[in-house]
Chain A
């Protein structure tokens, strides 16, 4: 796989922080999304390969990706381009604000593409149409094949400017691709851009693979594989494709996750019918036993500062969520509601824990504070589990399965996302059935 490290050059042309009027509040469900016009980026006529650039409609394609990203947030309403009155090149220089207000736009994105010396330069401006002024202007220089990423980075910058939060568009999702009948499922690791584009398969499907998770730099993945019928936790280097077993455990290891500094993998090790939580330092190979209990302890997840671990245990008799210090001391149960609780995952912001709840045969994805208070159930369904956080802690991705009939037909598994406000639930299209999604951090930080 191609090297992911890209050099982006950022130039801040103008920073217009003062006195802007528009601001998108993302802390509650937004029933009135901000009308935004994304003008196609115009192509500088002095560009190399002008004809091919125009044929590929690169300016239009970039604006479409930005629009799709905005629409997916539920916070923005990208307006139809048929109603646009100003040509992209003129609008980019200085829009006629009243014309754009006429189509009810409150924000406008304009831009320009320029190719020289085989480098792609993309410039964009964000205009505040209620205050008649420029809010942000940035340009990026990169290799032309990276144009999709530029579109995501621009989306992130605009999102940040309008919401005051970091974006999550220049990210990827790793998941398990599923195919075949339910009782003979073929599972492969797959990776795609956050918007569902560019799926690549990382394993061939010869053995069962489960629960992939990124390391903080998104170069490594830890997952579980039944290679040679030995269920173990593995590491996979996405660039080189090299895989290795994590540790030398005489039995099943599963439910792996990286520590926030990426130095350790934390996981469950099952021996003689008992699963406990262990961590392994990837450099020193030192293994540490973190829980010691006759009950099942699994699904560990670190707090973003690395000081605490939330995990799943049935030591009370049924599956509940617990929090402890990362050395295993101070174990405290945090869920007491009716039903079973599983798959706790600590938010990258540190404030919340997402979880799966099972009650009366229904499955819920929810969030609560890290002390267990303030539980909010976001979505209910026949079967869904395994939430994973967007890097800004605003969106959860999870998977959902449908019921099968008496012959086992009609079964499907798909990825879904939902805002932690409980709004904006949507399916993420994948070429095959999909499960166990894990969201990367921002690729360009």
Chain B
């Protein structure tokens, strides 16, 4: 009996330790991605102060998240203020898809960003798009975090 309860305590302690470490892993991951979309700032550069240059996508998707739309509105505001600036929107995919499909996916992502910029008053004539598929990863690691950073569209000044 005594032995049993000692064992039970041990198991309980072990279990809760596992639980805590599981929680901390989950917490760490949630800092970087929400619903498979990167939300960190590690790879982000800025077109101007407070204007991030890129938005991120979920695996195989090209839908803009609330956060992405917020970023693109900031880009649109900045572009409307700087009327002589032209940009290229580069679309990218992660390395976990076939090359040809990823080229198409990158193009779809870049156009999702371009369309949103146009909706917020930026002339389509000022925006060109290019897809690099999976050819230009920003993070070369083979980890879910790297892949989420690589699924992106980046707005780059061209003049």
Contact = CB atoms under 8 A, between A and B. Distances in A.
Contact of B60 (A252, A318, A411): A318
A255 B103 contact: yes
Assign chain B's interface to a size class. Answer: 20 to 34
Given A231-B131, A270-B107, A275-B107, A401 B141 contact: no
A171 to B, nearest CB: 23
Interface in A169-221: 181-183, 185, 208, 210-211
A15 interface: no
B78 to A, nearest CB: 23
B98 A356 contact: yes
B139 interface: yes
Interface residues of A, number: 45
Interface in B77-127: 95-101, 103-105, 107-108, 110-112, 115
B70 interface: no
B143 interface: yes
B139 to A, nearest CB: 7
Contact of A403 (B62, B111, B136, B142): B142
A343 interface: yes
A273 B111 contact: yes
A352 interface: no
A56 to B, nearest CB: 42
B99 A211 contact: yes
B141 A299 contact: no
A264 B117 CA distance: 38
A296 to B, nearest CB: 4
B140 interface: yes
B5 to A, nearest CB: 42
B137 interface: yes
Contacts, number: 108
A436 B103 CA distance: 14
A52 interface: no
Contacts of A270: 103-104, 107-108, 131
B51 interface: no
Nearest to A317: B60
A312 B101 contact: yes
Contacts of B136: 183
Contacts of B60: 314, 318-319, 340
B58 to A, nearest CB: 13
A268 interface: yes
Interface in B57-73: 60, 62
B114 to A, nearest CB: 8
Interface string A253-283: 0110000000000001010111100000000
Contacts of B130: 229, 231, 252
A405 B141 CA distance: 6
Closest 7 CB pairs of A and B: A408-B140, A273-B111, A182-B140, A342-B98, A275-B104, A403-B142, A255-B100
Interface of B: 60, 62, 95-101, 103-105, 107-108, 110-112, 115, 130-132, 135-143, 146
Interface of A: 181-183, 185, 208, 210-211, 224, 229, 231, 252, 254-255, 268, 270, 272-275, 296, 298-299, 312, 314, 318-319, 340, 342-343, 356, 358, 361, 383, 385-386, 401, 403-408, 411, 435-436
